[in-house]
C-alpha cells in the first residue's frame, strides 16, 4: 500500500537539496549535475528508496537517480538520504510517463523496475512500466549496451512483460520465475516489498532485457 497524506511532504520535497527540481532542464546534461562521467542508473518507481540507497552505497563510481511519483513515499527516502556519504544519488518526483522529457539519447546505462504497479485492468495495460509503450520510451535514452532489470511478485504482470519484450523486439537476456532459488540471486539487492514477500515465501520473478542490435 502507498503512504498517503504525509503532512508537509510536498513542501519538504520542493526545498530538499537531494531532489532535482525541473529535471527536464538537465536532459542530456546529467553528467554535469553529478560533475563526473560515471554511468547513470535510474530506478523508476523507487518507493521508500531502500534498493537505490543500497546500490549507491555499494557502487560509488555509478550515479543513481531515483524516480518516484508519490510525495508521501519519496519523503521516506529523503529521510534516509543523509546516511549516504557519497554524492552519487539524487531524486526526482515525477510521473514516469514524462520520462522521455528528462533524459537524452544514450544518457542512461541501466534502468531498474521493482515491484511496479500491475495496473490489472486491461484498459490500463499501456500504463504498465514494462508495456511496449514504456519500452519505446526507454529506447529513446537507454545507452546502446543498456539493460532494463525488472522484478515483481505478480506472475500475471511478469507473463505480460515477457510478451511485451517479444512484441517490442527487445532481447530477453535472462529471466526466472523464482529469483531466490536461481543462480541470478547472487548480488541481488532487495527492496522493501521484496524482503516482505521473501519472508512470506512468495517467489520473485526477474528479467533482464536489452535492445536487439
Grid cell in block for residue 208: 533482464
Closest to 13 (Cα-Cα) out of 58, 75, 70, 69 = 75
φ, ψ of residue 104 to 5 degrees: the values are -95, 175
Catalytic residue among 61, 87, 95, 117: 117
DSSP string of 88-128?
-EEEEE--GGGGGGT--TT-EEEEEEES-----SGGGGGGS
Strand partners, 148: 111, 209
Grid cell in block for residue 172: 530477453
Closest to 201 (Cα-Cα) out of 176, 186, 180 = 180
Q: Is 117 a catalytic residue?
A: yes
Give yes or no for a contact between 19 and 78, defined as CB atoms under 8 angstroms apart.
Answer: yes
Catalytic residue numbers?
117
Amino acid at each position: 500500500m502507498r503512504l498517503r497524506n504525509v503532512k508537509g511532504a510536498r513542501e519538504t520535497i520542493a526545498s530538499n537539496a537531494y531532489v532535482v527540481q525541473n529535471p527536464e532542464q538537465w536532459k542530456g546534461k546529467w553528467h554535469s549535475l553529478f560533475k563526473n562521467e560515471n554511468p547513470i542508473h535510474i530506478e523508476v518507481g523507487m518507493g521508500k528508496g531502500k534498493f537505490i540507497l543500497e546500490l549507491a552505497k555499494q557502487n560509488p563510481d555509478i550515479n543513481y537517480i531515483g524516480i518516484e511519483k508519490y510525495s508521501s513515499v519519496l519523503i521516506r527516502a529523503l529521510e534516509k538520504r543523509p546516511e549516504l556519504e557519497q554524492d552519487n544519488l539524487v531524486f526526482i518526483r515525477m510521473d514516469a510517463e514524462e520520462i522521455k522529457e528528462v533524459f537524452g539519447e544514450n544518457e542512461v546505462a541501466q534502468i531498474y523496475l521493482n515491484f511496479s504497479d500491475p495496473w490489472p485492468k486491461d484498459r490500463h495495460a499501456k500504463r504498465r512500466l514494462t508495456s511496449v509503450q514504456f519500452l519505446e520510451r526507454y529506447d529513446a535514452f537507454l545507452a546502446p549496451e543498456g539493460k532494463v532489470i525488472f522484478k515483481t511478485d505478480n506472475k500475471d504482470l511478469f507473463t505480460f512483460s515477457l510478451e511485451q519484450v517479444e512484441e517490442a523486439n527487445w532481447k530477453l537476456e535472462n529471466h526466472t520465475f523464482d529469483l531466490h532459488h536461481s543462480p541470478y540471486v547472487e548480488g541481488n539487492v532487495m527492496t522493501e516489498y521484496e524482503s516482505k514477500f521473501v519472508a512470506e515465501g512468495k517467489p520473485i520473478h526477474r528479467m533482464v532485457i536489452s535492445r536487439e542490435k
